[in-house]
Structure 1
Amino acid sequence: MQRFFKWVSALLLIVVIIGGGWFWLQHQPSSDSASNKRPIILKSVKVVGVGDSLTQGIGYDNDHQGYLPILRQQLRQDYYVKPKTANFGIGGQRSDQIDRRVQTNKKLRRALRRADVIAVTAGGNDLLQGLEKNILVNSDAQMTQKMLPLKNEYQQKLTQLMADVHEVNPRAQVYLFGIYNPVYVYFTNATMISTAVDQWNQVNRQVADSQSKTHFVDVKSALTYGQYRSANAQAKLKAENQQNDQAFINPATVEKLLQTQNNKEKNVYLSTEDHFHPNKKGYNVMATRLSHEIQNNVKWPKR
């Protein structure tokens, strides 16, 4: 009998050991889940900005960095990537001048060839020079007649610019920013400016849509209207601007505004330095809109 109890006890001990081992195995992480915990290797991505003062970063505390550092931070937060940016913006340049750099500047071409993302700002200076030449016309019909050949010429130049960018790097995704009306909040009824901005902005969209791997980044509404986006806010703004509520404005009035440096600016997205370029909040809008467009066209691992 004593041997029988020893045999039963040994059998129970074996059952407990086997059962405990089975329980332990069932609660161990699978090889798949263990592999999921391995650190993800950060993908290196290169973003190159080329264009005018909106790429250079004028207006943002004079640091000349603009939207690219903000974009770099956003990409780092949203994806498992190690973003590197390069800024090739020069203030005051027209689309043909930017294109000339794309064709001839060795450092820029080398950066473009290595880029995964290329962002372009162009058109503001083309439009500004066209308006300066025709600012004294006194009807919408005259303005349309004067601006039409300039708009067509600009479309040809911008198309060539984007084609040359793609020639340097056919694999990169290219993003073309739209333009905005920086003086809208002061001259809400200046139709000759608003109409011209709308037309130039449409050219940028059409050129982007006409070329492969090219995407339009719309910033017009946010940077033009600022905090006055609703119908009620715009009506209130027009009431405040009754003294400037005319379709055709004296260019000296606009020039005086742009040369005034103070801490007051009606549009919360524009700089008090020149009432023209974005401030930090405005460049944040540009970075965020660009980031959203990038999200639609890349397959980077998301956080």
Structure 2
Amino acid sequence: MGYIALRPSPAPKKPNPIHYKITALGDSLTEGVGDLENQGYVGAAAELLKKEKNVKSVSVSDLGHRGDTSADLLKKIKQPNYSKAIKASNTIFLTIGGNDIVRVFRQNFLDLHAGDFKKEQTSFSIKLKQVLKEIRQLNPDASVYYFGLYNPFEDYLGEANEDFVPILDKWNANSKQISENYQPISFIPTSDLFRNKTKQLLSKDHFHPNREGYNKMAKRLIEEIVKKQSNK
């Protein structure tokens, strides 16, 4: 009776080391206002990424700027330092839209109507498409993580908050729908993180997240990044 030669099982392949080259774009949330010492969600996310298995390096170019609207970001993306950073990255973080909504409050504070937000949302949608198109032209392959908006006004609006929440939800749903045309991209919701918790999660200015608020944003972001990585 002959013997059957058994081939040794091949050694399991080692997963490729991951090097994250991150460009963070957008407004004061990306800049980290409210927790500048720790660079907000960007700094928190970078630290969490470094602890992930197989991650060998994490580099960050944070180009967030306080007060920027979608129109401001659209102009800046075309500047050499922005375009160079976007081209060099494999991962992009994005927050934009909060200041577009704030402008509606400021311009119509004494006579605020739902139609005012609808008009601004239409304008924002056009610019968001342009921003994402510019990013994709500069870098077709980078994974984009785009944060939705939360409601920092719930303690100020009183009964009017019930009218504003559906407006914000519609704004976020529309932004998510637009973003899906610019894959690979993930929409990161935040409204549920802050709902009924703004006293605990916002900084002293009652608008920007505090360290705990940013940490919650970063944790959700990392969960999405890890999920996306595991599906590759």
With structure 1 as the length reference, what TM-score do the two structures score?
0.67
1: distance between equivalents of 2:223 and 2:93? 13
2: distance between equivalents of 1:48 and 1:70? 14
1:107-122 to structure 2, matched below 5 A, reads 107-122=81-96
Query: Is 1:145 the equivalent of 2:145?
Result: no
2:74 match: 99
1: distance between equivalents of 2:192 and 2:115? 26
Cα distance change on mapping 1:196 and 1:221 into 2, 3 Å: same
Q: Given the alignment, which residue of 105, 119, 122 partners 1:131?
A: 105
- What's the secondary structure of 1:171's corresponding residue? coil
Query: Is 1:280 the equivalent of 2:217?
Result: no
Cα distance change on mapping 1:111 and 1:136 into 2, 3 Å: same
Report the CA distance between 1:88 and its aligned residue.
0.5
- Deviation track 1:154-210 (CA, whole Å, cap 9, x = no partner) reads 111111111111111101011110011112134342234334322322232122223
Query: Is 1:70 the equivalent of 2:50?
Result: no
1:214 match: 185
- What's the secondary structure of 2:213's corresponding residue? helix
Query: Is 1:271 the equivalent of 2:203?
Result: yes
State the identity as a percent.
Answer: 28
Paired residues of 1:52 and 1:92 also in contact (CA < 8 A): yes
Paired residues of 1:56 and 1:64 also in contact (CA < 8 A): no
Paired residues, what number? 222
Paired residues of 2:38 and 2:44 also in contact (CA < 8 A): no
User: Which stretch has the larger CA shift, 76-85 or 109-118?
Assistant: 76-85
Q: Given the alignment, which residue of 153, 156, 171 partners 1:183?
A: 153
Paired residues of 2:146 and 2:188 also in contact (CA < 8 A): yes
Larger Rg: 1
2:175 match: 204
Paired residues of 2:92 and 2:144 also in contact (CA < 8 A): yes
- What's the secondary structure of 1:150's corresponding residue? helix
Paired residues of 1:79 and 1:300 also in contact (CA < 8 A): no
Give the RMSD, CA atoms, in angstroms. Answer: 2.4
- What's the secondary structure of 1:210's corresponding residue? coil
2: distance between equivalents of 1:95 and 1:135? 21
- Deviation track 1:237-287 (CA, whole Å, cap 9, x = no partner) reads xxxxxxxxxxxxxxxxxxxxxxxxxxxxx6211102x01100111111111
Paired residues of 1:177 and 1:204 also in contact (CA < 8 A): no
- Deviation track 1:85-113 (CA, whole Å, cap 9, x = no partner) reads 11100000101111111112x12211111
Structure having greater relative contact order (Cα 8 Å, sep ≥ 6): 2
With structure 2 as the length reference, what TM-score do the two structures score?
0.86
- Deviation track 1:42-70 (CA, whole Å, cap 9, x = no partner) reads 4322111100000000011x437111221
- What's the secondary structure of 1:59's corresponding residue? coil
2:130 match: 160
